[in-house]
Amino acid sequence: MTGWPTAGGPGRREKADLSRLSGVPVELVGVSRWYGNVVAVNEITFSLTPGVTGLLGPNGAGKSTLLSMIAGLLPPSTGVVAVDGRPAWRDPSIYRRVGLVPERENLPGYLTGRGFVEYAARLHRMPDPRGSAAEAVRAVALEDAADRSISGYSKGMRQRIKVAAALVHDPAILVLDEPFNGMDPRQRLHMMGLLRSMASEGRTILFSSHILEEVERLGERILVVVAGRLAASGDYREIRRLMTDRPHNFTVRSSDDRRLAAALLTEESVFGVEVGSSGLAARSADYGGFARSIALIARSAGVSLFEVVPTDESLESVFSYLVRR
């Protein structure tokens, strides 16, 4: 695994310094992007090497903005976004090496699926557009529907035909914005297999998702983006550990909250309790351990448990923990 420079670092506001680039497939150095006063991407630095990388973050974290910049569709406000060692912005020649699957679902409805992929092949000046299109359509397993008008396609079919169009020129770098949106579990599995096999051929694949499980199953490496910042990057197991080690909050309702709170405080893994009108709030470092031990503690204290609810299991709270870390 190559180095993963962490986000932030000293503010790099100077003009793009191309000599710092190492020429890996995709490289971002001190990249920020803002719209008016709103900062969408804040001082992000990372590089991508062949293999699958998952870009994880809640909606609105700046994932799409990052992908747009990598795909040369948006200039960074500061910093450099480079593909193969060259700035991606205003250089259509990068698309010989890059394939993009955008998030939007609008597709030219006057074309058939095959026609759409073939058009992409012609725009890429493929020697045999028909043959290349047929191959790409086969790769996403859409042969049966390929000759129907795109206007009648389901969400999952649209996703797959977009992937086919992005694959048609055999790109070394594939960028996918939320590729699993709208796919059923079977299609999802197929797409994951496809991306995995493309990565094993030495391609650099970056896909975004707001669903942890998708990234976990596919990404060998993970970039976590929260509120425009790179919150974590590296091996997914490492990040998974960071996520599970964080403190967990629970809300407990019982027959005697005060007595239970006192009993809980003697427990090693519990490092905070608070009794309020809506019940007892407890914080524990050990998610599974707390759930197991609270029943025993309650019984030995002579308290009946009515309800134990983890209060912060949303992805957003996981992300915000990583940011504060």
Partner 1 sequence: MTGEVPASGPATVVGPRPFRAIVGSTMRSILGRRRTLLVLLFLAVPILLALLARSLPGGAGQQEAVIGILDSLVVRVVLPLVALLIGTAVIGAEVDDGTIVFLLVNPVARWEIVAAKLLVAEVVTLLLVVPVTALTGAILVAGDPSVSSSIATGFAAGVAVGAAVYVAIFVAMSVLTSRALVLGLGYVLIWEGFLASLFAGTRNLSVREYTLSIAQQVAGVDLTAGQAIAWELAVVMSIVVFLAAVAIAIRRLASFSITGGG
Q: Which is nearer to partner 1, 25 or 279 (CB)?
A: 25
Residues 308 and 13: their CA atoms lie apart, in Å, by 49
Q: How many CB atoms lie within 10 A of CB 122?
A: 13
For residues 156 and 122, what is the distance between their CA atoms, to the nearest angstrom? Answer: 24
Tokens of 258: 């005060």
Q: Residue 155's CB: how many other CB atoms inside 10 A? A: 13
Closest residue by Cα to residue 206 from 88, 70, 316: 70
Q: Using CB under 8 A, count the residues that bind partner 1.
A: 57
Q: Indicate which single residue of 32, 65, 159, 254 sits in contact with partner 1 (rule: CB under 8 A).
A: 65
Among 86, 124, 253, 283, binds partner 1 (CB under 8 A): 124
Nearest approach in angstroms of CB 238 to partner 1 is 25
**Binding-site member from 125, 266, 276, 277 for partner 1 (CB under 8 A):** 125
Q: What is the β-pairing status of strands 248-254 and 173-176?
A: unpaired
CA distance 81 to 75: 8
23 binding partner 1? (CB under 8 A): yes
Q: Which residues touch 287 (CB under 8 Å, ≥6 apart)?
A: 244, 248, 310
Q: Does 201 bind partner 1 (CB under 8 A)?
A: yes
Smaller CB separation from partner 1, 74 or 303: 74
Q: Residue 31 or 303: which CB sits closer to partner 1?
A: 31
Contact string (CB under 8 A) for partner 1, positions 80-119, x = contact: ---------xx-xxxxxxxxx-xxx-xxx-xx----x--x
What residue ranges bind partner 1 (CB under 8 A)? 23-25, 35, 50, 64-65, 67-68, 71-75, 89-90, 92-100, 102-104, 106-108, 110-111, 116, 119-129, 165-166, 169-172, 177-178, 201-204
